[in-house]
Structure 1
Amino acid sequence: MVNLKGLSAFPITPSDRDGRIDVGALRALLEPLIAAKVDSVGLLGSTGSYPYLGRDERRRAVQAAVRLAEGRTPILAGIGALRTDETVRLAQDARDAGATAGLLAPVSYTPLTDDEVFEHFQTVARESRLPICIYDNPGTTHFRFTPALIGRLSRVDGIVAVKSPAPESAAIAGHLAELRAVVPSGFSLGYAADWNCTEALLAGGETWYSVLAGIFPTICVDIVRAATSGNATEARRLNECLQPIWDQFKTFSSLRVVYAIANLRGICGAEPPRPILPLPADGQKKVAETLAGMQIDFG
């Protein structure tokens, strides 16, 4: 059984302007994540710019990640696409390349109904035989999963987890309770939106799907280990240390900030896929000053 718990680190996918993945740069990003012993790698998530990459390049990325992980770290691969048949093929590619599970968002142009999303997910799970994590990301898909729909999907064979946007701390317990009331035992409830995820873990969320862990895994591992061991004081202290980065994420978007960090720290030279532009010079300067002013050893 797939066990999606703990820290899932979401790196960028470095590529050239033609969408060709730089496998060497991808390895440079993934090696520290595996060395830090993150619980899984969320490859080709929104931070990994999956909608901007073609099928062949997505396959190359998953193959490279699986080879590097060598079975030590589960690889969760983004498989979202507009059409169901295309999504099935991407899921089959990920399965054949050795991915542990697929991360599926309801990508759309025409707004989707709950029944359309249910049929889409059920078909992908059935025809790909790849375990599926529901990717609830209304900021990009403009579709929001209700607890009722998550409950329906959680009973589909092969759908094993959900990645939800973490609400503010006051709403976390209620959100978790709503989901637990409708999903079966063993179905993993995890959260994204990094700045709210420490509180989500402390409230009982099982997984932190983290953008920051894709570039600075060690401190994120420390937060998860503190939270899961019941040391709320330490988890909150470490999270508070990261507040300047959370502020930058909210100001510029986490995607642009992480690309800037990767370049500023010499991890890889990459730009986000066009039409997304890198941070302008003043934004990069602010990110550099933020990192320089933080009393944290990022490794």
Structure 2
Amino acid sequence: MKLFTGLSAFSITPADPSGHVDTAALARLLGRIAAAGADSIGLLGSTGAYAFLSRHERQRAVEAAMECVGGRIPVIVGVGALRTDEAQALARDARKAGANGLLLAPMSYTPLTEEEVFQHISAVAQAGELPLCIYNNPSTTRFTFTDDLLARLAAVPNIAAVKMPLPADGDFEGELRRLRSRTPDGFAIGYSGDWGAADALLAGCDAWYSVVAGLLPSEALALTRAANTRNTSEARRLDESFQPLWSLFKAFGSFRVMYAIADVLGLCEAAPPRPILPLPHRERTRVKDALDRILV
């Protein structure tokens, strides 16, 4: 299994209002991803509401995932937490359950310095003893990794990849060249931000960490494979079919929209954790119309 390459599909984590994970529903969603042939599953990422779940419920989610798809598809588990010792414990839990890799964002309430983030991620990588992907998610964490910090972390044992936000200037090729010149050979550089996936893949990134693939894995995989094989016209055509959905992601946040998609498609009955409110009911028609463009 080669981690941190190709299409990594990030699932929602269905749970009741008290935060109790519906492991049967989660297993169904993950089974669809594995059956579609995605390259990996992203479990308990931002889309998976990791920050809203207790350690016990996160353990249950990982154990259910490994029981369902373990050995069929690599599973990358988000282990972010406010405290370093808690993130270390979550990393050990994931390893014990059989996870293949880890994903870590520097969560914080107090803004963190570069040295604090370096020591935090290094400590979790050591505790987890699994390949770890740095999650550079400034829109959520309010922390942006500099090239110097990424280069420093890339030299730490077990740290093998970074999940990047879309570059503000849209220059994927330039950013990839710059980061690859500062990191070891084999260090994987991938992107999140689904509306930039086609550009990122065509520029030669290693992975698309995809929100939409959590519920539409076959369709996201078709876009990934077209770009990976340099079938630019097909990649652009498929990306165009996703545009109404990308617009909804930008307007309302992909987290809210994913729960609406799951409901529209009848995949599971779940609402986002409070205080996050569901997508306004009046927008459901837009979700249905967007899906009709994709599911042809």
Cα distance in 1 for partners of 2:260, 2:184 equals 41
Following superposition, the deviation at residue 296 of structure 1 comes to: 3.0
Superposed CA offset, 1:222-279 (max 9, x none)? 1111111111111111111110110111111111111001011110000000100101
Deviates more, 1:167-176 or 1:95-104: 167-176
Q: Does 1:46 align with 2:49?
A: no
Which residue pairs with 1:120 in the alignment?
A: 120
Q: Distance in 2 between matches of 1:28 and 1:78?
A: 19
Q: State the AA in 1 paired with 2:286.
A: K
- Larger deviation: 125-134 or 39-48? 125-134
CA deviation profile, 1:19-62 (whole Å, cap 9, x unmatched): 00001111121111000010000000000000000001101111
Cα separation, 2, equivalents of 1:170 and 1:58: 35
Query: Counterparts of 1:228 and 1:121 in 2: how far apart (Å)?
Result: 30
Partner of 2:263: 263
Secondary structure at 1:35 match in 2? helix
Say which SS state the counterpart of residue 224 (structure 1) adopts: helix
1:55: which partner in 2? 55
Local SS of the residue matching 1:117 = helix
Take 1:218 and 1:254, find their aligned partners in 2: how far apart are those partners? 18
Distance (Å, rounded) in 2 between the aligned partners of 1:296 and 1:137: 30
The DSSP-based 3-state class of the residue aligned with 1:177 is helix
Aligned residues: 296
| AA aligned opposite 1:65 | A
Partner amino acid for 2:264?
Answer: L
Q: Is the 8 A contact 1:169 1:199 kept in 2?
A: no
Work out whether residues 52 and 273 of structure 1, in 8 Å CA contact, stay in contact via their aligned partners in 2.
yes
Does residue 207 (structure 1) correspond to residue 207 (structure 2)? The answer is yes
What amino acid sits opposite 1:129 in the alignment? E
Q: CA–CA distance in 2 between the matches of 1:211 and 1:18?
A: 24
The 1:295–1:204 alpha-carbon spacing in structure 2 relative to 1, beyond 3 Å, is closer
Gaps of 5+ in 2: none
Partner Cα distance (2:89, 2:58) in 1: 11
Match of 1:16 in 2: 16
> Is residue 274 from structure 1 mapped to residue 274 from structure 2 by the alignment?
yes
**Is the partner of 2:171 in helix, strand or coil?**
helix
Secondary structure of the structure 2 residue equivalent to 1:181: helix
Q: Secondary structure at the match of 1:14?
A: coil
Partner of 2:295: 296
Distance change in 2, residues 1:141/1:295 (3 Å)? closer
TM-score, normalised with respect to structure 2: 0.97
Which runs of structure 2 are paired with 1:187-202 in the superposition (5 Å)?
187-202=187-202
CA contact (8 A) 1:167 1:196 kept: no
Which runs of 5 or more structure 1 residues have no equivalent in the other structure?
Answer: none
**Which deviates further from its counterpart, 160-169 or 170-179?**
160-169
Query: Matched residue of 2:179: which SS?
Result: helix
Greater shift in the superposed pair: 222-231 or 209-218: 222-231
Structure 2 CA distance, aligned partners of 1:167 and 1:249? Answer: 17
Aligned residues of 1:190 and 1:208 also touching (Cα < 8 A):
yes
The letter for the 2-side match of 1:266 is: G
Name the aligned partner's letter for residue 114 of structure 2: D
Matched, 1:98 2:101: no
- Give the 5 Å matches for 1:16-165: 16-165=16-165
* Whole-Å separation in 1 of the counterparts to 2:239 and 2:133: 26
Distance in 2 separating the partners of 1:219 and 1:182:
34
Specify the code of the residue in structure 2 equivalent to 1:23. T
User: Which amino acid in structure 2 is aligned with residue 197 of structure 1?
Assistant: A
Q: Name the CA distance, whole Å, in 2 between partners of 1:46 and 1:85.
A: 20
Deviation at 1:169, TM superposition (A): 7.3
Quick one: which amino acid aligns to residue 72 of structure 1? Answer: R
Separation of aligned partners in 1, 2:153 and 2:287: 40
Return the alpha-carbon distance in structure 1 between the equivalents of residues 97 and 176 of structure 2: 33
Instruction: Give 1:168 deviation, angstroms.
Output: 5.8
Shift of 1:2: 5.1
Question: Is this contact kept in 1: 2:242–2:294, CA < 8 A?
Answer: no
User: Separation in 2 of the partners of 1:170 and 1:67?
Assistant: 40
Q: Any conservation in 1 of the 2:3–2:40 contact (CA below 8 Å)?
A: no
One-letter amino acid of the counterpart of residue 275, structure 2: P
Contact 1:11 1:211 (8 Å CA) reproduced: yes
Aligned-partner Cα distance in 1 for 2:3–2:279: 36
